[in-house]
Amino acid sequence: MAYDRILITQAEIQNCILMLSKKITATYETFDNLVIIVVLNGARQFAKDLIKALGVNLEIEYIRASSYYGGIESCKKVEIEGNINSKLSGKSVLIIDDIYDSGLTLNALLRFVKGHKPKDIKTCVLLEKNTRHEVQIPLDYVGLIVEDSFLIGYGLDYQDNFRDLPFIAALNLNTIEEDQTLPIME
């Protein structure tokens, strides 16, 4: 079995999204220049549900950030792929990611987005790992704080598997194969 127990149920995820959507809507409801940047692949499911719950006029952009190459430890280099089609200059940007772990991914994304000269940038994650982050990121919206284990489900993958689980669980480390050399996770 890939996981021993469910850490966050489907209902808990949806409650959390409702709470986040209220806060985000309260911030941006009078704005007409919001661009949401969804970090693929992990945040796709979360962003889809969150954006549906927002009462805000917005544009959506997708960007891919890769830092995990088949293991459960982040390697230090973050690659960013994809183009931002909307002009960000003078606009408000909200970056949506699935999880804040080392902080390297969000740090690289913040730097990338800043280069497009938006008016302001905020960050939203569904989960924040309860660990010592390598880079401190000023998060604006956090769904839940979670323990330091490798999580799967609701967009989070291990070697591209388990994204489709409707809940979030801790990966059962006994199921990990010895060969972790394949480039797999985003």
Provide the binding-site residues for Mg ion, judged by CB under 5 A.
42
User: x/- site string to ligand IMP, residues 117 to 156, per CB under 6 A?
Assistant: ---------------------------------xx----x
Q: Parallel, antiparallel, or unpaired for β 120-129 and 92-100?
A: parallel
The pair of structure tokens assigned to 151 is 């999580």
In whole angstroms, how close is the CB of 102 to ligand IMP at the nearest point? 3
**Is residue 186 a contact residue for ligand IMP (CB under 6 A)?**
yes
C-alpha dist (Å) from residue 37 to 43, 101, 109, 122, 173: 10, 19, 10, 10, 32
Give CA–CA dist 111/121, Å, rounded. 10
Site for ligand IMP in 39-58 (CB under 6 A): 39, 42
CB of 170 to ligand IMP, least distance (A): 8
CB 113 within 8 A of CB 37: yes
Which residue, 29 or 148, has its beta carbon nearer to Mg ion? 148
- What's the min distance (Å) between Cβ of 136 and ligand IMP? 11
Annotation marks residue 101 as catalytic: yes
Q: Which of 76, 92, 75 is nearest to 37 (CA)?
A: 92
Q: Which of residues 61-80 bind ligand IMP (CB under 6 A)?
A: 67-68, 74
Beta-bridge mates of residue 3: 171
167 Cβ contact list (under 8 Å, min separation 6): 6, 7, 8, 9, 10, 13, 153, 154
**Residue among 26 and 75 whose Cβ is closer to ligand IMP:** 75
65 — phi, psi (to 5°)? -125, 130
Among 101, 140, 157, 164, the active-site one is: 101
Candidate segments 16-24, 53-61, 79-87, 96-104, binder of ligand IMP by CB under 6 A = 96-104
Active site residues per annotation: 101
Residues that bind ligand IMP (CB under 6 A): 39, 42, 67-68, 74, 97-105, 150-151, 156-157, 186
